[in-house]
Amino acid sequence: MLKIDYESEGFPPGPIPNGPGVLDTTWDEVLWAAITVGRPNRSYVFRHGDASRFEAIFRWSLVRMALEQGGPRAFRLRRTDAAKTLDPTEKGAVNYFLGLVFCKLFAAKLLDAPWALHLDVFGPQVRAILSGRSRPDLIAETSAGEWVSLEAKGRVSPPSSDAKNKAKDQAMRIVGVNGRIPQWHIGGITYFYGDSVRFFWRDPTPDFQQQLKGTKITFAEDAWRYHYAPVLELFKEATTDEEPTFSEKLESVQDNVDQTARPDASKRHLKEADVVVSIHPEIMRCLVQGDWRMARALALKLRQAFRELGYMPDGIMVRAGGSWREALPPAES
């Protein structure tokens, strides 16, 4: 079990009490957030093709390079020596990604909003705010169908009042999704305090003038492909000659939805990352057919069953190996 100290501010009466708190989580959940924080991957950004298994490994490698568990407070996540030696540009990139990961994790765990997409996937709809620096990062949907606008920041040190205000203002730039006002406009900041990961988030009261000037988004169901694509790509290549091909896995999934005949049909072991990933067969069948809408609908329908089987609400299970619970070797001087 991992524990992350956090502070909530400005939330209305409801599921999030204002003040300090402690989030109980696991490496499994952190790595799930990293692989499903729906953003266009690097291949998409540079128009070089579809996602690949290396996108997943890249994301997890960023987390592994930056964070470790160990020391006298072994249940805390702390910054690694390697992360401290990065140059400013590299630190900025890593901290930005960590900001996305933990903002998604907190939204999933505490707001019941496990479905999050990076604003970049909406392209032309939000070009006006994507061209500037003032914009939120994520649009999330709760299991009840409510929307959340999230600005995710990552910093080395505790945020100043100015940084908190900027995050708040950027979160409020999205004023509507499919004709509905987001239930929450959250500015979330991941930072380090004494090298331990901490999180701050604020849900400000909407400003009427900002509502008039803000951006409205039309959400298409096929956008959920960005949530699932990096995970699905892990199953399209065999790592050994003995491992079934993707076509064989798909045939097994289609013929054996209950996984009784081939329990490995929807499971993949990434040895280089020390991670095992599973996709529930019902969800896998939708993904390989490119039916992103049905995958989302089935995930909502089977949510309780997923919980009992150990899957996350989207039908994905990530299991971190033992090496994730070990501290990295000290950086060479």
The pLDDT tens digits for 294-329 are 999 999 999 999 999 999 999 999 999 999 988 777
C-alpha–C-alpha distance, residues 73 and 1, integer Å: 12
| Residue type present at position 56 | A
Q: Please check whether residue 217 is in contact with residue 139, taking contact to mean a CB–CB distance below 8 angstroms.
A: yes
Six-digit token string for 84: 């401290």
**Cβ neighbours for 171, distance < 8 A, ≥ 6 positions apart:** 136, 149, 150, 151, 185, 186, 187, 204
pTM summary value = 0.85
pLDDT in tens, 185-237: 898 999 999 899 999 999 866 654 455 556 778 888 788 888 898 888 888 76
Distances (CA, A) of 131 to 136, 256, 295: 12, 48, 32
Q: How confident is the model at residue 72 (pLDDT cuts 50, 70, 90)?
A: low
Answer yes or no: is pLDDT of 70 > 80.
Answer: no
Q: CA geometry: angle at 44 spanning 40 and 45, to 5°?
A: 80
The confidence score (pLDDT) of residue 123 equals 64
Q: Is the pLDDT higher at 236 or at 331?
A: 236
C-alpha–C-alpha distance, residues 62 and 139, integer Å: 22
pLDDT in tens, 226-259: 889 888 888 876 444 444 444 444 444 444 444 3
